[in-house]
Amino acid sequence: QSVLTQPPSVSGAPGQRVTIACTGSSSNLGAAYDVHWYQQLPGTAPKLLISDNSNRPSGVPDRFSGSRSGTSASLAIAGLQAEDEAVYYCQSYDNSLSGRVFGGGTKLTVL
Amino acid sequence: EVQLVESGGGLVQPGGSLRLSCAVSGFTFSSYAMTWVRQAPGKGLECVSVITDSGGVAYYADSVKGRFTISRDNSKNTLYLQMNSLRVEDTAEYYCARIALSYGPLDYWGQGTLVTVSS
């Protein structure tokens, strides 16, 4: 089981908005460590999508946004497109494990 | 352009060894901590090892501690992962990635190299 908890799957129709939750604990998100989000398209390496809770790296569309509160964080994707079908991972640092931890990943299906 | 290129993966028998390499370009390698992240087939991501920019400090996940050794050669812009006493459960795609800041994101990733441990 992953240290950070994500739903296994979410889905939405083109144009809709979906959110993916990431739940942690007092030793990671609750300890004020930032959360980062990655997108992994089929057959490719993960790519940084959101850094430091809510920052979009250059080139990431503003349809993607992140937020964080207490021991939880979320990734929102607005105006869903077919090309957004991927697995999304949250990641943070855990001070009880002294290492970087990932969520189990959420597979987004665009209906 | 930032590039990370892994190599060294392959098929190895249980108990065997492999050394992975990650050649980087497009940034000052000696200024960044680096990490190896693995992904078992159909599974999620696991950070197995981290090394500081100077190479002086390393972190290992419990699953590989005592068996894997991370190192770097800043003169050659290359990151390494020496994997010994390999187990079937070490079968995975291994990615190297750059760490943006001390607790920051993994902002650039390589394409991965596949390690298969099987008899």
One DSSP character per residue, B27-49 reads S-GGGS-EEEEEE-TT--EEEEE
B26: enclosing H helix or E strand: none
**Token pair listed for B12:** 């190895």
Structure confidence at residue A83 (pLDDT): 96
pLDDT value at residue A55: 97
Q: Cβ B47–A102 below 8 Å, yes or no?
A: yes
Contact A87, A105 (CB under 8 A): yes
Chain A positions touching B70 (Cβ under 8 A) are none
Q: What angle do CA B59, B60, B61 make, to 5 degrees?
A: 130
Inter-chain touch B103–A93, beta carbons under 8 Å: yes
Mean pLDDT of chain A: 96
Cβ contact A102–B95 (<8 Å): no
Residue pointed to by tokens 């098929």: B11
User: What is the pLDDT, as a whole number, of residue B105?
Assistant: 96
The burial of A57, by beta-carbon neighbours within 10 Å (0-12 exposed, 13-18 middle, 19 or more buried), is given as middle
Q: Are B118 and B13 in contact (CB under 8 A)?
A: yes
* DSSP class of A57: P
Q: What secondary structure letter does DSSP report for B6?
A: E
The mean pLDDT value for A88-108 works out to 96
CB contact under 8 A, A57 and B103: no
**Reduced to 3 states, what is the DSSP secondary structure of residue A84?**
helix
Task: Give CA–CA dist A10/B72, Å, rounded.
Answer: 40
Does residue B117 carry a pLDDT above 90?
Answer: yes
Determine which of B4, B5, B35, B45 to mutate to test the interface with A (most A C-beta atoms within 10 Å). B45
Task: Tell me the two tokens of residue B2.
Answer: 């930032």
Q: How far apart are CA A71 and CA B20, in angstroms?
A: 36
Asked if pLDDT for residue B47 goes beyond 90, the answer is yes
Average pLDDT over residues A40-59: 97
Between strands A18-23 and A72-77, the pairing is: antiparallel
Alpha carbons B14 and B88: distance in angstroms, whole number: 6
Provide the shortest C-alpha distance from residue B52 to chain A (in Å): 13
pLDDT for the residue B102: 79
The mean per-residue pLDDT over the stretch B20-44 comes to 97
Q: What is the mean pLDDT of chain B?
A: 96
Name every chain B residue with its beta carbon within 8 A of the beta carbon of A38. 45, 106
What is the average per-residue pLDDT within A3-10? 97
Do the beta carbons of residue B50 and residue B58 sit within 8 Å? yes
Instruction: Please name the residue of chain B whose CA is at the shortest distance from the CA of residue A48.
Output: B107
Question: B55 pLDDT band (50/70/90 cuts)?
Answer: confident
Per the CB < 8 Å rule, is A45 touching B95? Answer: yes
Please report, as a single letter, which amino acid is at residue A72: S
HSE-CB for B5 with a 13 A CA cutoff: 7
- What type of residue sits at position B110? G
- In contact, B110 and B22? CB cutoff 8 Å: yes
Residue (of A109, A79, A106, A107) closest to A21 by Cα position: A106
Q: Quick check: A91 and B106 CB within 8 A?
A: yes
Q: Answer yes or no: do B47 and A105 touch at CB < 8 A.
A: no
pLDDT of A1: 83
Task: Kindly list the residues from chain B whose CB atom is less than 8 angstroms away from the CB atom of residue A2.
Answer: 44
